[in-house]
Amino acid sequence: QDNRISIWSVGDLGNVGLNGEYQGDPQLLCDIRHNGDVMDMQFLDQERIVVASSTGTVTVFRHHQNNQTLSANQRWEKAHYHVDQDTSCGGAACTGVICNNPEIVTVGEDGRINLFRADQKDAVRTIDNADSSTLHAVTFLRTTEILTVNSIGQLKIWDLRQQRNEPSQIFSLTGDRVPLHCVDRHPNQQHIVATGGQDGMLSIWDIRQGTMPVSLLNAHEAEMWEVHFHPSNPDHLFTCSEDGSLWHWDTSTDVSEKPSFLHQGGRSTTYFSHNTINQSVVSAWLSNDPTKDRMEITNLIPNQTLSVNSLDILGPCLVYGTDAEAIYVNRQLFA
């Protein structure tokens, strides 16, 4: 009933014990009340956090680092709503938010897409009937394009430069209409997208070709709540589920016969595929069956029984939250 946004300090990386455990407890720096369930949140910049509420409101909180307080910096009341914005019960949950400072895109149960700009009172753009079903998640494809996933198994691309309110492309899981809950784009190869949904399957899509996923990988036994490529090591992908598991997918161990070379600026090894006309570099994620090329999959929390609802990764750190009302930080991702 009483929800809060909290900022924690988990100390510095130097403080790691012999077995890799972080020493010292995380410190709660500050927190603030939040109206409605927190459906999603993202940092807009170093100080501001954008939060999506089940009431349909989107709030930007500012973290004041000098005196460690949080304050509501900006609020778009009932950015998402079912009937009209004015009725007291009219709010529809805002299910997802993504930031590309100063732009903020939100999606919701009402099938609406909003484009806000920090420090502007009104929405820059609203696509009212973007979807007839619930939009569960959104991500930027590039600065002018976004990708949404919905509750009937569709992935849609929207070009924000276009004034028309239709998607520029629609992709879908064949005929099953399995709700998709999460989406993430490969950080270097923007045509590669991963999604997860109700059936726990991991789908990898190449949005340059076809309207169906390149590969469907058996993953979790229940809903997949979140999927994330590692931001600087995208051969690694992480998924978490209602079934209490958190999987680390590693395609970097490919030892097949294909000639490989190293990217500049990253350890990711890429492979030539000989059937492409221009011998272009193809990601390990796009091979027809990535598991054949010895993809390693590790469940990072083997005996967990309660749902893992959310995860995020930065460098060697993985953070996740579960139904045990606890937040876990794993600092030994690539140990």
Distance CA 135, CA 150 (A): 4
Q: How confident is the model at residue 207, as a pLDDT?
A: 93
- Could you give the CA distance from residue 106 to residue 56 in angstroms, rounded to a whole number? 10
- Which CB contacts under 8 angstroms, 24+ apart, belong to 286-291? 286/192, 286/204, 286/206, 286/214, 286/215, 287/215, 288/214, 288/215, 289/215, 290/204, 290/215, 290/217, 290/251, 291/217
The predicted pLDDT at position 293 comes to 56
Q: Show the CA angle centred on residue 15, arms to residues 322 and 30, nearest 5°.
A: 55
Q: Which residues contact 261 (CB under 8 A, 6 or more apart)?
A: 269, 270
**E strand or H helix at 116, and its extent?**
strand 113-117
Domains, in order of start, for the chain: 1-8+25-130 (2.130.10.10), 176-253+282-334 (2.130.10.10)
Residue identified by tokens 């004015």 is 86
**Which residues does residue 177 pair with via DSSP β-bridges, in sequence order?**
none
pLDDT given for residue 22 in this prediction:
57
The reported pLDDT for the residue numbered 255 is: 44
For the chain, 335 residues long, give each residue's pLDDT as a single digit of tens.
899 999 998 776 555 555 555 566 788 999 999 999 999 999 999 999 999 999 999 999 999 999 999 999 999 999 999 987 777 667 899 999 999 999 999 999 999 999 999 999 999 999 999 999 999 999 999 999 999 999 999 999 999 998 889 999 999 987 778 999 999 999 999 999 999 999 999 999 999 988 888 888 999 999 999 999 999 999 999 999 999 999 999 988 654 433 333 332 333 333 333 333 222 345 778 875 655 556 889 999 988 889 999 999 988 889 999 999 888 888 877 76
